[in-house]
Amino acid sequence: MSEPRAFVEVDLTAITANIRHLSRGIDANILAVVKADAYGHGLIEVARTAIEAGASWLGTALLEEAFALRDASLTAPILAWLTPPGEDFDRALKEKIDLSVSSLALLEEILAAGKRTGITPRVHIEVDTGMTRGGFLEEWDPFLVRLREVKSELHIVGFWTHFARADEPDSDFTEQQLILFNVLLNALQSEEIFPEIVHAANSAGAIAHPGSHKQMVRLGIAMYGLSPDVSTMGDSAKLGLKPAMSIKAKLVNVKRVPALSRVGYGGTGVTDRDTQLGIVCMGYSDGLPRRADATAGVSYNGELARLIGRVSMDQCVVDLGADSAARAGDYVTIIGEDGFSADDWASAAGTINYEITTRIASRLPRIYHR
Ligand SMILES: *Cc1c(COP(=O)(O)O)cnc(C)c1O
């Protein structure tokens, strides 16, 4: 096979190290969040690695992601929490995938699937304690009424909520969410329903709010070695984490141009000296943010070369400097230890590291280091 023009390297040993590092401070089950193709790192490889590293659960948003895990022979408990009406709940039950119950309509669909298949659905009840997104809010009381009638038809495995602001150490919002969460749990227990696994914490909760750990934490971004919020919690290094993703792309060409050359669509980039430009074979269709400014770029042999002009669909241009030895066909590092980080790209594009890694296109091959 020819060399890829651009590829993603995923350091699975970093994911293992991150889980081990985080689990030192966590006396609870770890659910490895592998939604969105494991934040762009690769669903199956990451799921296997996480289980080997000590995670006991896998979590996905979509049911199709959970099916893909089962198709790859992963047998760990799986929770899929984002299922609009009309999903294949029969198959979910047959494949022993835990479902989140977050509305009355969904409860009825899951009960119906239980009747059809003769399998008792394994469910986690989701309550909305302040995110105002998923989970029971105004339907809570009618839900309890209905649950009284049907609780024998369900295996209520879990009870859970999601934090909106766990990455803000100065805010007491997470504590308020936990108080409401406990009130709702008590209401459930008054119905003689005792879920085995109560869970609330995401990465930020797991790191910054030890009181939120309960019986399980749902680790996403931190497992991949990135900070939930660089500005409030510090970066990967500060948190003792190692980013697992790096990206390399080839130079299509290197060209020498004079000062004041205008670069790219709209001519928004202007060279400030005689220099060499590197034409990099990766663009916004590959997931590089078009909005990124010149605070991001690439590295070549550890030397930084910043973006110049707009990112195009399949390529972008960087200012290598007059003396660079880089040549057409050489690889440059888009994200990597010796260059720019996902955090740098996020800040250059006005977004968050989550969006950078999850949007790296699936057409770039993933190469795994074990
Ligand atoms: C994505 C997600 C997580 C993981 O969040 P991180 O901030 O990446 O740790 C946890 N729980 C739910 C419900 C999620 O959707």
Per-residue pLDDT of 151-195, as tens digits, reads: 999 999 999 999 999 999 889 999 999 999 999 999 999 999 999
Average pLDDT score over the chain: 98
Do 270 and 217 belong together in one domain? no
Do 294 and 182 belong together in one domain? no
CA of 303 to the centre of ligand 1 (A): 35
> Any alpha helices (H) in 118-255, and if so which ranges?
140-150, 173-190, 203-208, 230-233
Atom 4 (ligand 1): residue with closest C-alpha? Answer: 220
Q: Is the CB of 316 under 6 A from ligand 1?
A: no
DSSP letter (8 states) at residue 71 = H
> Is 162 a member of any domain?
yes
Q: Which CATH number goes with the domain that contains 252? A: 2.40.37.10
Do 268 and 168 belong together in one domain? no
To test the pocket of ligand 1, the residue of 202, 227, 229, 354 to mutate (highest count of ligand atoms within 8 Å of its CB) is 202
> Is 206 a member of any domain?
yes
Last residue of a domain, one of 173, 192, 226: 226
Q: Work out which ligand 1 atom sits closest to the CA atom of 228.
A: 7
CA of 209 to the centre of ligand 1 (A): 15
Residue 244 token pair: 């697992």
Confidence of residue 103 (pLDDT cuts 50, 70, 90): very high
pLDDT at residue 216 is higher than 90 = yes
Distance between CA atoms of 239 and 264, rounded to whole angstroms? 38
Do 285 and 170 belong together in one domain? no
DSSP codes of every residue in 209-259: -GGG-TTEEEE-GGGGT--S-HHHH--TTTTT----EEEEEEEEEEEEE-T
List beta partners, residue 366: 8
Do 180 and 139 belong together in one domain? yes
Atom 6 (ligand 1): residue with closest C-alpha? Answer: 220
List beta partners, residue 29: 216
CA proximity to 251, closest of 316, 165, 343: 316
Do 208 and 272 belong together in one domain? no
Q: Work out which ligand 1 atom sits closest to the CA atom of 35.
A: 1
Backbone angles phi, psi at 94, to 5 degrees: -60, -35
Model confidence over 340-370: pLDDT tens digits?
999 999 999 999 999 999 999 999 999 999 9
pLDDT at residue 29 is higher than 70 = yes
Q: Which of 35, 242, 248, 250 is catalytic?
A: 35
Q: Is the CB of 156 under 6 A from ligand 1?
A: no
Do 219 and 116 belong together in one domain? yes
Distance between CA atoms of 14 and 156, rounded to whole angstroms? 35
Q: What is the pTM of this model?
A: 0.98
Mean per-residue pLDDT for 47-55?
98
Do 179 and 302 belong together in one domain? no
Q: Is the CB of 158 under 6 A from ligand 1?
A: no
> Is 28 a member of any domain?
yes
> Is 185 a member of any domain?
yes
Domain count, the chain: 2
Do 256 and 150 belong together in one domain? no
Q: Which of 94, 265, 284, 354 is catalytic?
A: 265
CA of 222 to the centre of ligand 1 (A): 10
> Is 4 a member of any domain?
no
Do 222 and 260 belong together in one domain? no
> Is 349 a member of any domain?
yes
Q: Is the CB of 312 under 6 A from ligand 1?
A: no
- Burial, 12: exposed, middle or buried (Cβ in 10 Å; 0-12, 13-18, 19+)? buried
- 265 flagged as catalytic: yes
Q: Which CATH number goes with the domain that contains 94? A: 3.20.20.10
CA of 176 to the centre of ligand 1 (A): 19
Q: Is the CB of 181 under 6 A from ligand 1?
A: no
Segments forming the whole domain that contains residue 33: 12-226
Last residue of a domain, one of 158, 192, 226: 226
Q: What per-residue confidence (pLDDT) applies to 1?
A: 60
Backbone angles phi, psi at 208, to 5 degrees: -100, -10
Q: Work out which ligand 1 atom sits closest to the CA atom of 219.
A: 9
CA of 109 to the centre of ligand 1 (A): 25
The pLDDT > 70 percentage for the chain reads 100
> Is 234 a member of any domain?
no
Give, for 343, the enclosing helix (H) or strand (E).
helix 342-349
Q: What per-residue confidence (pLDDT) applies to 170?
A: 86
Do 201 and 277 belong together in one domain? no
Amino acid at 79: L
To test the pocket of ligand 1, the residue of 31, 33, 353 to mutate (highest count of ligand atoms within 8 Å of its CB) is 33
Q: What per-residue confidence (pLDDT) applies to 146?
A: 98
List Cα–Cα distances, 306 to 18, 294, 331, in angstroms.
Answer: 30, 5, 15
Q: What per-residue confidence (pLDDT) applies to 2?
A: 85
Exposure of 15 in the CB half-sphere (CA atoms within 13 A): 33
> Could you tell me which residues come within 8 angstroms of residue 339 by beta carbon, excluding any fewer than 6 positions away?
297, 298, 299, 302, 304, 333
Last residue of a domain, one of 173, 197, 226: 226
Confirm if 168 and 232 have CB atoms less than 8 A apart.
Answer: yes
Model confidence over 264-313: pLDDT tens digits?
999 999 999 999 999 999 999 999 999 999 999 999 999 999 999 999 99
Q: What per-residue confidence (pLDDT) applies to 278?
A: 98
Confirm if 351 and 289 have CB atoms less than 8 A apart.
Answer: yes
> Is 1 a member of any domain?
no
CA of 131 to the centre of ligand 1 (A): 12
Distance between CA atoms of 256 and 267, rounded to whole angstroms? 17
CA of 146 to the centre of ligand 1 (A): 29
Do 251 and 173 belong together in one domain? no
Q: Is the CB of 220 under 6 A from ligand 1?
A: yes
